[in-house]
Amino acid sequence: MRAVILAGGRGVRLRPYTTAFPKPLVPIGEEMAIIEVVLRQLAAQGFTEVTIAIGHLGQLICAYCGDGAQWGLQIDYWNEDTPLGTMGPLVEHVDELPEHVLVMNGDVLTDLDYAALLAGHAESAAPITVATYDRTVKIDFGVLTIGGPDNDRIVAFEEKPIESFSVSMGVYAVSSATLRAYDAGRSLGFDELVLDLLRTGPAPRVHPFAGYWLDIGRPDDYDNANENWEQLRPRLLPS
């Protein structure tokens, strides 16, 4: 089984932590980098080959992860000279990919079963499967619905509503055939790919998940992960 970890971003939202380090290398619990948690999980679930797409400060990721032997993995690297978006690096190297591949951001903490996600995708014949998580958002204001003939009247009102959404976890299973529809060398985001599939079909598939998931994208989220690392460690890392 093959996985591609996207680790080329600049981590702007996580500054100042990412001033000197790429985001996947920020430490968790003063013990290991986020990307090491991911690599340990992949190895425990039967993945043998991992490609890391690097860009900003990518040489530090190469130095930390090496060839992957310490985790029983074979790691190689794709170096992005220019940012290619979430899916662009895979299009660039589509001939190197197996029929189905796991793709994920390098800053995700979750106890998702990656192998089950990939296996379910392969059986589904979907172009892409997106791991999804339900988020509940409380709006701290009275929400007005505006309408009327001149669009200047309140037609509905709700005080501090609670909204629920299914969001992408930043973990996907993709078929290489889906990527061959695009030209190499151009940027291709996850959003662009999904919108294209919604227009042309077949529709993307979802893999709902209700376990632990945290996208280390903001200082508050990163601080939360560190504060709770002792409780999270047995859940996130295989024994």
pLDDT per residue as tens digits for the range 110-161: 999 999 999 999 999 899 999 999 989 899 999 999 999 999 999 999 999 9
CA distance 96 to 89: 11
Torsion of CA 4, 106, 80, 102, to 10 degrees: 20
Domain coverage including residue 162: 2-236
End-to-end CA distance of the chain: 21
CA distance 80 to 65: 17
Residue 43: Cβ within 10 Å count: 17
CA distance 139 to 86: 30
Identify the CA nearest to 76 among candidates 91, 99, 97, 57. Answer: 97
Question: What is the CB-side half-sphere exposure of residue 88 using CA atoms within 13 A?
Answer: 20
Sheet holding 205-209, edge to edge: 74-79, 49-54, 2-7, 100-105, 162-175, 128-138, 205-209
pTM to 2 decimals?
0.88
Read off the CATH number of the domain in which 60 is found.
3.90.550.10
User: Which of 65-69, 192-196, 228-232 has the least mean pLDDT?
Assistant: 228-232
| Residue listed under structure tokens 């204001």 | 141
Q: Looking at the 3D structure of the chain, how many domains does it have?
A: 1
Chain mean pLDDT for the chain: 90
| Residue listed under structure tokens 């709902």 | 208
- Return the structure tokens found at 167: 């969001």
Q: Where are the alpha helices (DSSP H) in 52-167?
A: 58-65, 88-92, 114-124
pLDDT per residue as tens digits for the range 6-20: 987 655 555 555 556
